[in-house]
Amino acid sequence: MNVASGQLSREQAIRETVYRSCMALDAEDFSAFLDLCAPDLEYTVTAFSPEIRKEMIWLEQDLEGMRALLEMVPQHLKRLGTLKRHVSVYLIDDGNDGIAKVTSSFIVTHTDPQGRSQLFVAGTYCDEVDCRGERFLLRKRNAHLETRDLGIGSHIPI
């Protein structure tokens, strides 16, 4: 289900775009996630390494790259269980150009097949939501990670 700008307050619709993108990834409903993304999507996962004192880009995809990556996920040997993103929208800067900049804090928990949950990763989303069309769309996301030890890692973007 997508957010229609007419049905909700503008700010609520912006929040829901962020939340729904996370819910779709949690559910591994990749077509629903891609449906929430703008054609000019830029998706990055970054972290700062204090060891080498450099910013690192661990994942960088445009829409087609993200589509290809997610399409291949079922063919990979991947971490068992589920990831759950808990997101709190902190700031919404709703610019005059129809692009809202949204800053959110997130933590992701991993629950294994036996039902044991633990923290997987913590970080900050810096998103841009395109509010110019009939539907609000995720145009840009930078997931900046505080957590750098990701155990066995993840085939699914955070």
Q: Which stretch binds another protein (CB under 8 A): 7-15, 20-28, 52-60, 109-117?
A: 52-60
Least distance CB 8 / another protein (angstroms): 32
21 burial type by CB count under 10 A (0-12 exposed, 13-18 middle, 19+ buried): buried
Task: Work out whether 21 is an interface residue with another protein (CB under 8 A).
Answer: no
Residue 115 touches another protein, criterion: CB under 8 A: no
For residues 1 and 145, give the distance between their C-alpha atoms in angstroms, rounded to a whole number. Answer: 28
Residue with Cβ nearer another protein (52 or 91) = 52
Using alpha carbons, select from 40, 24, 44 the residue that is nearest to residue 32: 24
Q: What is the 3 state secondary structure string of 127-141?
A: EEEECCCCECEEEEE
Binding residue (CB under 8 A) for another protein from 78, 84, 135, 144? 78
- In whole angstroms, how close is the CB of 145 to another protein at the nearest point? 9
The residue from 9, 77, 97, 116 that contacts another protein (CB under 8 A) is 77
- When binding is defined by CB under 8 A, the residue of 31, 49, 88, 117 that contacts another protein is 49
> C-beta of 71: minimal distance to another protein in Å?
7
Q: How far apart are CA 15 and CA 18, in angstroms?
A: 5
Residue 107 makes contact with another protein by CB under 8 A: no
What is the separation of C-alpha 142 from the centre of its chain, rounded to a whole number of angstroms? Answer: 8
- Using CA atoms, how far residue 133 sits from 15, 88, 98, 100, 138, in Å, is 16, 25, 9, 13, 12
Comparing CB distances to another protein, the nearer of 5 and 124 is 124
Among 27, 68, 119, 122, binds another protein (CB under 8 A): 68
User: Using CA atoms, how far apart are residues 151 and 158, in angstroms rounded to an integer?
Assistant: 14
